């Protein structure tokens, strides 16, 4: 892991140097592509501002993710346990995914207003779907022989659920959570485009319409870094606690 981190860092620095040199050597106009140094200068000079945006957008992401993941787990489990529920409600989940976030976002603003909760709702909406699907599929894939074994021990539905279905589905749920946290971040950023004054999404819009390219790149890098860190955090959790494969 250490050597991996080292080489990744080296690759990152190499890429930044390439960017800086490339922009300078080819004389790319700053309104097409700013230099890396200009981007980092902007970042360093606006730490407060960006920090405030990070706190806001990250809060939206995490709260939205937690809510969305919970919804996904509950519905995914319900669908796995009850075929009737699955047939009844699962199509609705699929249809909901066909609604573009743009249309959905406008509705959410009408329902929830403009504070943090409308962004949380959009982040949760994007997170819930993959978690629902993977929870359901993971639990349905449970080995019937193991179900039979636990039943022969006298296990009821509750014990079967917590002692077998949930751990059995965890690797597949974990995969959905990794996807979900990334979608949650996108949801939070897009959610801010429906009106707000703080957050990385709103700063991106401001930078775009004021054609402040160094700021735009600074924000893109920050969003990317947050995305990577969240993903890595979940990957680490997964590697440490959810290492078993379903097919064993």
Q: Least Å distance between CB 50 and another protein?
A: 9
Instruction: Provide the token pair at 167.
Output: 């751990």
Q: Among residues 89 and 198, whose Cβ is nearest to another protein?
A: 198
Residue 141 sits in the site that holds another protein (CB under 8 A): no
Among the listed ranges 13-21, 76-84, 148-156, 177-185, the one in contact with another protein (CB under 8 A) is: 148-156
- The answer to whether residue 28 forms part of the interface with another protein (CB under 8 A) is no
d(CA 123, CA 125) in angstroms, rounded, equals 5
33/85 with CB nearer another protein: 33
Question: What does the block give as tokens for 55?
Answer: 């706190």
Question: Please, which residue, 92 or 237, has the CB nearer to another protein?
Answer: 237
5: tokens are 């981190």
Q: Which two tokens stand for residue 93?
A: 């989940």
Helix then strand then coil, in percent of the chain rounded to 5, is 85, 0, 15
Contact 68, 184 (CB under 8 A): yes
Interaction between residue 32 and another protein (CB under 8 A): yes
Can residue 15 be called a binding residue for another protein (CB under 8 A)?
A: no
Stretch that binds another protein, among 19-27, 71-79, 89-97, 139-147 (CB under 8 A): 139-147
Q: Give the span between the Cα atoms of 206 and 220, in whole angstroms.
A: 13
> Per-residue x/- marks for another protein, 194-223, CB under 8 A?
xxxxx---xx-xx-xxxxx-----------
* Side-chain half-sphere exposure of 57, counting CA atoms within 13 A: 35
**Is-contact 181 127, C-beta < 8 A?**
yes
Nearest to 149 by CA among 167, 135, 136, 163: 163
Under a CB-based contact definition with an 8 Å cutoff, are residues 128 and 177 in contact?
Answer: no
Binding interface with another protein (CB under 8 A): 1, 4-5, 8, 31-32, 49, 52-53, 58-59, 62-63, 66, 102, 105-106, 109-111, 113-117, 120, 143, 145-146, 148-155, 159, 163-164, 167, 170, 192-198, 202-203, 205-206, 208-212, 228-229, 232-233, 235-237, 240-241, 244-245, 248
């Amino acid at each position: 892991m250490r050597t991996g981190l080292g080489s990744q860092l080296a690759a990152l620095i190499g890429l930044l140097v390439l960017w800086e040199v490339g922009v300078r050597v080819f004389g790319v106009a700053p309104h097409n592509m700013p230099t890396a140094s200009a981007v980092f200068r902007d970042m360093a000079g606006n730490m407060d501002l960006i920090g405030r945006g990070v706190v806001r957008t990250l809060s939206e992401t995490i709260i939205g993710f937690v809510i969305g993941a919970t919804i996904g787990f509950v519905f995914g489990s319900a669908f796995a346990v009850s075929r009737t529920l699955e047939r009844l409600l699962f199509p609705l989940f699929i249809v909901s995914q066909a609604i573009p976030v743009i249309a959905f976002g406008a509705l959410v603003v009408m329902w929830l207003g403009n504070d943090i909760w409308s962004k949380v709702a959009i982040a949760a909406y994007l997170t819930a779907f993959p978690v629902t699907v993977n929870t359901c599929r993971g639990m349905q894939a449970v080995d019937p022989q193991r179900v039979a074994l636990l039943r022969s021990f006298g296990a009821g539905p509750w014990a079967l659920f917590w002692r077998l279905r949930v751990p059995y589905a965890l690797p597949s749920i974990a995969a959905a959570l990794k996807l979900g946290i990334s979608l949650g971040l996108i949801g939070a950023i897009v959610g801010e485009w429906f009106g707000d004054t703080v957050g990385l999404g709103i700063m991106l819009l401001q930078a775009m319409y004021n054609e402040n390219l160094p700021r735009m790149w600074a924000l893109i890098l920050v969003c990317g870094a947050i995305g990577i860190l969240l993903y890595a955090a979940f990957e680490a959790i997964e590697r440490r606690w959810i290492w078993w494969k379903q097919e064993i």
